[in-house]
Structure 1
Amino acid sequence: MKDLPKVYDNILQTIGNTPMIQLNKIAEDIPGVVLAKTEYFNPGHSVKDRMALKMIEDAEKRGDIKPGGTIIECTSGNTGMGLALAAIVKGYKLICTLSDKQSKEKMDILRAMGAELYVCPTNVAPEHPESYYSVATRLAKEIPNSFYPYQYDNLSNREAHYESTGPEIWEQTDGKITHFVVGVGTGGTISGVAKYLKEKNPDVKIWGVDSYGSVFKKYHETGEFDESEIYSYITEGIGEDILPKNVDFSLIDKFEKVTDRDGALATRELARKEGLLLGWSAGSAFQAIRQLKHELDEDSVVVVLFHDHGSRYVGKIFNDDWMEERGFLNHKNKMAKDLVDKHRHLPLLTANANEPVENAIQLMRKHDVSQLPVVDGGKYVGSLDDSRLLQVILDNPAVSSRPAKEIMDAPFPVVSPTEEIRDVAKRLNKNTGAVLVKFGEDEHHILSRHDLVAALS
């Protein structure tokens, strides 16, 4: 159908040119502007489509793989998906070796795309015969007409990002980018993009995101490969217990480590606050920006690359039971709406700013509540708290006949239904005993200090 200019010949032609999206609510407290290079818009739903295709096409040019051959690769899942697309279009067989920490969704998707999988133990050294590196190496030796790309040391990996991802970021920011932030696994993305950006502007800062249990940060800072740094972690797609040749440490200005828990929670937050359903490493990358925000200013233009789509993590970080089992959630009700749902069918009790205080006191007694928002003309203009009312009336009993507006405190803070209750609780202090949860212009519900204490205990 080459006579139809808007029709692609095959799925591989849709790789690249992914959108840049500004982060808003989640980045309110971060100086400057934070932009997300959102790679799940690639057909295989990850940044790895770019380098997977590049590795195969370069291998074809060298004659490293012949028609009808077999591609063998060790992968955390996303490179496997990119290779699967290439294998389908080009007529190759695909075998993937994975560590057993990878999500079931990733494995199921690879099988759906025709890949044969070998699932290997995570907690073994790279040189162990059962590691996913070693199993891939063995299979490549045993299977005729096979090609083992080995994404860690295959420099076509970083070249793909030098040729495509870097130029796209530069063009999309009109050359105004000041910081590039990305999780580091094989190192191809950060090194390829960094090389391009620093050629354009040597002052662009490159920040790599690492996991606790990985060797990158200490090696970058000291030049020492410290095996005591290596231990098991469960964040997928970033960090390593080896030093891939694709990681060009000279191009990276800083590494920042992020915990499994913080990365997972930030990923969930990105979904709720920005509508971006992303993979685990995306949350880790954004969390790193939070941890380093003191190094930014109002002129900063930060681009964070989000590797993949959250559909591959539905059974893990987007599963409440899985998160609670690992101690990442320590309460059943995680968001403001979960607490409000219990009484959302009831109208919000309020005091009118011009009515006498004694009316508000009677309302509190009747419904056994300790706080009331004060309204005037349909707007929330203040608040009343029973403990403060008691003190005021003890000091001057005549106060009970005066309008509520004369003694009311500041209005309660307003939060969204999807705000985590830990964050909601941070809005309370000795002078603020409740918040209002806003579901719409005309629907608000109250959460008291008591509600939050009960939920968090």
Structure 2
Amino acid sequence: MTINSSRAAGVVLPVAIGFGIGVLLTITTSYGYSIYKQHHHDDDNGTGHGKRQKITLADNTVASSSDGRDIRIGVEGLIGRTPIMKIKSLSQATGCEILAKVEMMNPGGSAKDRIALAIVEQAEAEGLLRPNSNDIVFEGTSGSTGISLAMICRAKGYRAHIFLPDDTSTEKIELLEKLGAVVEKVPPASIVDKNQYTNAARARAEQIMSHHEDNDDDDDDKNKQAIFADQFENEANWQAHFDHTGPEIYAQLGDSLHAFVTGAGTGGTISGVSRFLKPLLPNLKVVLADPPGSGLFNKVKYGVMFDLREREGTRRRHQVDTLIEGIGINRLTNNFDVGRSLIDDAVRVTDKQSLAMARYLVERDGLFVGSSTAVNCVAAATVAKQLGPGHTILTVACDSGARHLSKFWKAVGPIGGELSHESLDQILNQRD
């Protein structure tokens, strides 16, 4: 063989191999998509909620160039496609494979990045927000959704105006302020109170849009457009999880999943993921993890939130005191209701269990989680014990413990150099 022919072979062979791999990937992708289409028709899985338009986010996820580079475009491009990890300590203790979708690896640090982006880009598509216009996004939140909205607003040229309970952790409030959001703290209250944080955010947005807001800032604020993000009722919430989170999980785990366990605040995650996965995995068990003071446990288990004295929409006292932020609610939201029929069971998790689980995970796995993730892990371990060894259970690692230092982790207490002697069974058997 001549030098020239040898060089030619050295060029042709890699090209042929690369072409073959490309064809294989194309076939595989097409086959996977055909399976998806086979199970997800325009009737939205036959769940009884009618046809809907899929949320198509802007083309800001990946830019692939001819030299093989893979580049995400802006913070928007970093949202989603989060990894799934095996929680070693819980898996070993239960004999099950306990996994977590690590949503804390989104750029804003939580799963709420997904819905913040979906809500904003849907508003843009409808002409309600204009990029780089300083239009205003109002929201009522216990923290994480506000942080995600503040990040997206900064990236797209909007202003975020956030109302939250005044007992929200200091770290979340400071993060919001550092992202440039206007923060208004209000006392915790029932949804029937007009000053409750969600109602306050809605009212302020309506004032702006009706040009009756008395602003102390810019004189031209009356020309700004504003939206109320309305994370609890806005269907862009559950649809974002149906269109993105659910497909990611199925692509990562396929048919191996036996149970999906997560808490609910707005209800978007559990509804969207369940509505995607249930038609593909008919035997999948969907379980709600619910903290103290929330009525969703009773709604799933018994069909009612409370007795007649505390029936939905009439409860006038403050929510039962709990250290848990981000999940648990005493009303039935639209985002929860659209998937409620697909939830098979619910697990009540106490504050003591959550605190002990947070300590357990950081001591044995180096996993430093927030309060809602601790609730999810208690419930996931409970489900693993119920199902028995050999099953695969997925939960959600919502956010990091870094946002909960002054409240939840203060109650956990100091973490010493030695492991605590508390077993998983002891944690699961604790009661407040």
Q: TM-score range by the shorter chain?
A: 0.7 to 0.9
Q: For residues 181 and 134 of structure 1, do their structure 2 counterparts lie closer, same or farther at Cα, with a shift above 3 Å needed?
A: same
Alignment partner, residue 244 of structure 1:
333
Alignment partner, residue 184 of structure 2:
118
Alignment partner, residue 16 of structure 1:
80
The residue matched to 2:142 in structure 1 has which SS?
A: coil
Alignment partner, residue 420 of structure 1:
420
Alignment partner, residue 46 of structure 2:
none
The TM-score with structure 1 as length reference comes to 0.69
2:243 aligned with 1:163: yes
In structure 1, C-alpha distance between the alignment counterparts of 2:180 and 2:150, rounded to whole Å? 7
The TM-score with structure 2 as length reference comes to 0.73
Alignment partner, residue 378 of structure 2:
287
Alignment partner, residue 412 of structure 1:
none
The residue matched to 2:335 in structure 1 has which SS?
A: coil
Whether the 8 Å contact between 1:95 and 1:115 is mirrored in structure 2 is yes
Q: For residues 265 and 101 of structure 1, do their structure 2 counterparts lie closer, same or farther at Cα, with a shift above 3 Å needed?
A: farther
2:244 aligned with 1:175: no
Could you give the per-residue CA deviations for residues 410-434 of structure 1, whole angstroms, max 9, x where no partner exists?
Answer: xxxxxxx2x214459x8xxxxxxxx
Moved more, 220-229 or 254-263: 220-229
Q: 1:151 aligns with which of 216, 224, 231?
A: 231
The residue matched to 1:28 in structure 2 has which SS?
A: helix
Unaligned runs of 5+ in 1: 338-416, 427-457
Q: For residues 166 and 231 of structure 1, do their structure 2 counterparts lie closer, same or farther at Cα, with a shift above 3 Å needed?
A: same
Q: 1:92 aligns with which of 158, 175, 178?
A: 158
In structure 2, C-alpha distance between the alignment counterparts of 1:334 and 1:7, rounded to whole Å? 39
Q: CA deviation at 1:143?
A: 1.6
The residue matched to 1:318 in structure 2 has which SS?
A: helix
Rg bigger for which structure? 1
2:222 aligned with 1:133: no
Letter in 2 for 1:29: A
Letter in 2 for 1:83: L
Q: CA deviation at 1:65?
A: 2.3
Letter in 1 for 2:149: L
Letter in 1 for 2:323: I
Letter in 2 for 1:211: P
In structure 2, C-alpha distance between the alignment counterparts of 1:305 and 1:87, rounded to whole Å? 25
In structure 2, C-alpha distance between the alignment counterparts of 1:153 and 1:283, rounded to whole Å? 26
In structure 2, C-alpha distance between the alignment counterparts of 1:92 and 1:173, rounded to whole Å? 37
User: In the TM superposition, what are the counterparts of 1:135-284 in structure 2 within 5 Å?
Assistant: 135-144=200-209, 145-226=225-306, 228=310, 231-247=320-336, 248-284=339-375
Whether the 8 Å contact between 1:218 and 1:224 is mirrored in structure 2 is yes
Whether the 8 Å contact between 1:12 and 1:85 is mirrored in structure 2 is no
Q: For residues 334 and 51 of structure 1, do their structure 2 counterparts lie closer, same or farther at Cα, with a shift above 3 Å needed?
A: closer
Letter in 2 for 1:212: P
Letter in 2 for 1:235: I
Between the aligned residues of both structures, percent identity stands at 31
In structure 1, C-alpha distance between the alignment counterparts of 2:126 and 2:87, rounded to whole Å? 42
The residue matched to 1:262 in structure 2 has which SS?
A: helix
Letter in 2 for 1:236: E
Q: CA deviation at 1:233?
A: 2.3
Q: For residues 314 and 334 of structure 1, do their structure 2 counterparts lie closer, same or farther at Cα, with a shift above 3 Å needed?
A: closer
Q: Which protein has greater RCO, CA pairs closer than 8 Å, 6+ apart?
A: 2
The residue matched to 2:255 in structure 1 has which SS?
A: coil
Q: CA deviation at 1:334?
A: 6.0
Q: 2:408 aligns with which of 293, 309, 317?
A: 317
Letter in 2 for 1:273: R
Whether the 8 Å contact between 1:26 and 1:274 is mirrored in structure 2 is no
Q: CA RMSD in A?
A: 2.1
The residue matched to 1:182 in structure 2 has which SS?
A: strand
Letter in 1 for 2:195: E
2:31 aligned with 1:31: no
The residue matched to 1:173 in structure 2 has which SS?
A: helix
Q: How many aligned positions are there?
A: 333
Q: Which has the higher strand share?
A: 1
